[in-house]
């Protein structure tokens, strides 16, 4: 089994490093964050990813996995995977400065013939640019979801290997040979674009559903029934059809933005994608309007309880969280906000306009409306009779259609769902 370098120990890098060690490779994982590296060296994983701490500890104990802040130990490594951040720049493009800076170092450090693999989501043309540095470049985009990182890495829908150099592509394919998945061997530009195209398609699917939900409300249809029917068509599929407060997270917003910039730069009017982004930008205002209706008056001074702050269930990640976008709209309207999320560290919202509590029942106390923003299944198990007793007005705006309408009704709640009539 080969010696592999992984640069970046975030969601993608740490998962990649731990899973490749699990698959039998010798992995050196490098991150610039010393305290994170120190924690990882002790087997302490900060992110909530099922199975990841176990794999990290097994790798450390077996000696297959090591962590360092120094790129130097990669000097003799012939395959290095870049799992570095590519956030949204001020102009909406992907900011590749971290990737570029690490490449500057690797260019001098790595042995001749070394293969540099981009697992980060990087603009089309990045592999070609790496090739011009004299390194052998392979695009190998990652499709894992937060909260399912290990499961997705070890059971991927596909493994994409984009390379102009067949032997370099073979070296990357060999890393995954123990996984059972279709392997797409293609050119680097197509591999790079396939990643953006997948995320943008998912985002578009969701904006379509969120628009549809509005239409259902106006026409007296139920979006759950409509999407259930649509999803039975194999060409559409049942996944990614749940309406909500908008799509967010560390990837969909920045990647749609970068793809729109790439399209504009190439002189392509990508109208569908532009509309999907615009629909999403307006979603927070739509939720705020529903809350205004639920409160039955101006938001100014109204106490509103928020259930869920993370961008989706199963993660404590607040990056581009639609829940925070809704909170901002409500706070702009003068609402007084209390929020609860089972995975979010309250300290992360210090100084924000949301008073974060670690007790979901405190969110209900004296509330004039409750708003479900994240699809945490445990919200279903709250004592809704107690929630009703604590609230000033028993009203729920369920942006995710998470809670059982019949149960809420039985507990005395008025419910505003998404894509359904209020009851
Ligand atoms: N999060 C996801 O679900 C996901 C899924 C697929 C692809 N991606 C893509 O993968 C890339 C990484 O995303 P992520 O979510 O893992 O990011 P992250 O922010 O969780 O992790 C990035 C890591 O890189 C480290 N880092 C920053 N600068 C460094 C440097 N100069 N040298 C070494 N380490 C450095 C940071 O300390 C951090 O630990 C992005 O391009 C993202 O778009 C993310
Ligand atoms: O039916 C649905 C499904 C999702 N969402 C929302 O869509 C957003 C994105 O969800 P998800 O895709 O599960 O989150 P990520 O973990 O960010 O994963 C996406 O972004 C990653 C980073 O590029 C990719 O690797 C994954 O394939 C891609 O699904 C979240 O706000 C969800 O709440 C809905 O509103 N309704």
DSSP string of 97-123, one letter each residue: HHHHHHHHHHHHHSPTT-EEEE-S---
249 Cβ below 6 A of ligand 2:
yes
In ligand 2, the atom with minimum distance to the C-alpha of 242 is: 1
Q: Produce one character per residue of 80-92: b if its CB has 16 or more CB atoms within 10 Å, e if not.
A: bbbbbbbebeeee
* Chain segment 190-221, per-residue pLDDT in tens: 999 999 999 999 999 999 999 999 999 999 99
Q: What is residue 423's predicted lDDT score, i.e. its pLDDT?
A: 67
pTM value > 0.95? yes
* Chain segment 108-139, per-residue pLDDT in tens: 999 999 999 999 999 999 999 999 999 999 99
Q: What is residue 284's predicted lDDT score, i.e. its pLDDT?
A: 95
Q: Whose CA is nearest to atom 19 of ligand 2?
A: 145
Banded model confidence at residue 1, pLDDT cuts 50, 70, 90: low
Test site for ligand 2: of 206, 227, 321, 343, most ligand atoms within 8 A of the Cβ: 206
Q: How far is the CA of 411 from the centre of ligand 1 (A)?
A: 44
Name beta bridge partners: 117.
81, 138
**DSSP one-letter code for 358:** S
Query: Catalytic annotation on 251?
Result: yes
Q: How far is the CA of 119 from the centre of ligand 1 (A)?
A: 9
* Chain segment 365-401, per-residue pLDDT in tens: 999 999 999 999 999 999 999 999 999 999 999 999 9
What CATH number labels 251-417? 3.40.50.720
Q: Are 206 and 227 in contact (CB under 8 A)?
A: no
CA dihedral 171, 175, 176, 182 (to 10 degrees): -10
- Distance, in Å, from the CA atom of 418 to the CA atom of 423, rounded to the nearest integer, reads 12
The CATH 3.40.50.720 portion of the chain extends over 3-186, 251-417
How much of the chain, in percent, has pLDDT values that exceed 70?
99
Q: Whose CA is nearest to atom 28 of ligand 2?
A: 145
Q: Whose CA is nearest to atom 27 of ligand 2?
A: 143
User: Which segments within 176-302 are labelled E, that is strand?
Assistant: 183-186
Give the sheet arrangement for strand 414-416, strand by strand.
354-356, 336-340, 303-307, 369-372, 395-398, 414-416
3-186 classified as CATH 3.40.50.720: yes
317 Cβ below 6 A of ligand 1:
no
Looking at this predicted complex, what is its ipTM? 0.99
CA dihedral 256, 257, 260, 264 (to 10 degrees): -170
Q: Are 335 and 303 in contact (CB under 8 A)?
A: yes
Q: Starting from the CA of residue 46, give the closest ligand.
A: 1
- Distance, in Å, from the CA atom of 278 to the CA atom of 29, rounded to the nearest integer, reads 39
């Amino acid at each position: 089994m080969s010696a592999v370098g992984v640069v970046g120990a975030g969601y993608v890098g740490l998962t990649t490093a731990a899973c490749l060690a699990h698959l039998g490779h010798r992995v050196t994982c490098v991150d610039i964050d010393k305290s994170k590296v120190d924690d990882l060296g002790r087997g302490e994983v900060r992110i909530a990813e099922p199975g990841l701490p176990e794999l990290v500890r097994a790798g450390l104990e077996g000696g297959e996995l090591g962590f360092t802040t120094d790129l130097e130990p990669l000097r003799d490594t012939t395959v290095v995977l870049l799992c570095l951040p590519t956030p949204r720049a001020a102009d909406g493009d992907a900011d590749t400065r971290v990737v570029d800076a690490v490449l500057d170092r690797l260019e001098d450090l790595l042995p001749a013939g070394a293969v540099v693999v981009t697992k980060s989501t990087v603009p089309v043309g990045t592999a070609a640019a790496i090739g011009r540095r004299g390194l052998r470049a392979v695009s190998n985009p990652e499709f894992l979801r937060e909260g399912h990182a290990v499961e997705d890495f070890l059971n991927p829908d596909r493994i994409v290997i984009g390379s102009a150099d067949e032997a370099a592509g073979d070296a990357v394919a060999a890393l995954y040979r123990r996984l059972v998945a279709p392997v797409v061997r293609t050119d680097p530009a197509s591999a790079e674009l396939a990643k953006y195209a997948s995320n943008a398609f998912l985002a578009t699917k969701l904006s379509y559903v969120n628009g549809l939900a509005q239409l259902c409300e106006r026409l007296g249809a139920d979006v759950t029934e409509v999407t259930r029917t649509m999803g039975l068509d194999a060409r559409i599929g049942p996944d990614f059809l749940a309406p909500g407060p908008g799509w967010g997270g560390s990837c969909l917003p920045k990647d749609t933005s970068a793809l729109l910039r790439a399209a504009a730069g190439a002189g392509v009017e990508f109208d569908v994608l532009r509309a999907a982004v615009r629909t999403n930008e307006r979603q927070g205002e739509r939720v705020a309007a529903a809350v205004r209706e639920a409160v039955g008056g101006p938001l100014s001074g109204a106490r509103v309880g928020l259930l869920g702050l993370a961008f989706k269930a199963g993660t404590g990640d607040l990056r581009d969280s639609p829940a925070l976008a809704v909170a901002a709209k409500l706070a702009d309207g003068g609402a007084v906000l209390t929020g609860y999320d089972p995975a979010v560290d309250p300290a992360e919202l210090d100084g924000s306009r949301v008073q974060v509590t670690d007790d979901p029942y405190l969110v209900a106390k004296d509330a004039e409306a409750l708003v479900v923003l994240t699809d945490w299944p445990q919200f279903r198990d709250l004592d809704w009779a107690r929630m009703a007793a604590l609230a000033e007005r028993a009203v729920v705006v369920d942006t995710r259609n998470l809670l059982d309408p019949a149960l809420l009704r039985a507990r005395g709640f008025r419910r505003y769902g998404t894509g359904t009539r209020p009851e």
